[in-house]
Chain A
């Protein structure tokens, strides 16, 4: 695999900023570098210069580039105990409530792993058609991928194990069917999901959201931008809305953001908006 230097990466960031008005200097450098190297290899570009050229001369490539740049979720039902918490501590109390304005937002969808997971969870509680789910995507390629239901075969095995640990109400293979080289998830699960195409500034964020699922997203941002994103999430949430982040993403009490959220469950990385 071609290895990029700091100068190459700065050049790519500058080029994208100029041509497409997206600022990737907010990303964590090491994982950003690794993704760019992966894109160069995957598209047989063989050198950073070929990537510059492709980004400059082939604007239609940019959508694919964005899809390949963002890291997809690892598997469905990752960290089963988090999903159990959502089912048992969170949604189980709401079955008899009026949920007409109940919004759930996933600010970062690439492969739809977390999106399909929350839809399955809600389906099993018979809440799927009673809440509003909004998913932000960054490219049409990602949207097509998610809507097609396609899913890599190698991720299914661990997803099945996770679902068993989640102790779901059904059989996991009710939610997908096997094809020759892949798996197709049941796309009817996401038929009522509203998709928003945005960039990493989250300027199109919805308002008055009750629950944000943003697990293992902030790890790809630098510390300054992480703070910035937390402010945006705070503004997006309604009065006592909840934010779920990855198990190793700590919203620290000594950061500026410490006034924004209080901890609900530190082991499962569940936070709650502090009122303004």
Chain B
């Protein structure tokens, strides 16, 4: 199967997991990695630097209409929604928060599912609200692969459990299993 992108959503308790995932991917990872993580609106710097520290792939906060590249990770910038536009571009939006969140995981997942259809892998990690559950369902509805972090391992279970309630997902994985899955791509 030729995938075109991986998208990861998370909130409270996901930072360590995302860091472990990014540190385990080798440079030359075959697709772009999109990261939509809840974060403080007013803190602009520090987050992407912390995620980059030991990552082997470049991690950055994209500018509007930036073209996605394989083997790069893109973190939704503070106080913007991150949409996937046609032609492999990011489109940012300052539209109203959804589920009290901007960036909204649902909106990133829905637009990515529309852009990549069955060539998308969607992953929901630990988090403290329901954001992402509806987005992951859209990934499944479009034939993409859906993975949820095992709630028994998640620091905060609400987000993975909400995703599992709404969608019959393909895999419920521990962090190690998520990493193994991605390393095989």
Contact = CB atoms under 8 A, between A and B. Distances in A.
Interface of A: 28-31, 34-35, 71, 73-74, 78-80, 158, 161-162, 165, 216, 218-220, 223, 226, 246-250
Q: Which 8 pairs, one residue from A and one from B, show the smallest C-beta to C-beta distance? A: A250-B63, A30-B83, A216-B94, A219-B64, A31-B93, A219-B92, A28-B91, A30-B85
Given A30-B83, A161-B42, A246 B94 contact: yes
Interface of B: 41-42, 44, 61-65, 77, 79-80, 83-86, 89, 91-95, 102, 107, 111, 114
Contacts of A162: 42
Contacts, number: 63
B79 A71 contact: no
A228 to B, nearest CB: 14
A71 B61 contact: no
A248 B85 contact: no
Given A28-B85, A30-B83, A74-B79, A249 B64 contact: yes
Contacts of A218: 64
A34 B107 contact: yes
A249 B63 CA distance: 6
21 contacts: A28-B65, A28-B85, A29-B85, A30-B83, A30-B84, A30-B86, A30-B91, A31-B83, A34-B83, A74-B94, A161-B42, A218-B64, A219-B64, A219-B92, A219-B93, A219-B94, A220-B93, A223-B65, A226-B65, A246-B94, A248-B62
A29 B114 CA distance: 12
Contacts of B64: 218-219, 246, 248-250
A220 B94 CA distance: 9
A62 B75 CA distance: 37
B86 to A, nearest CB: 6
Given A34-B107, A250-B63, 4 more contacts: A219-B91, A219-B92, A219-B93, A246-B92
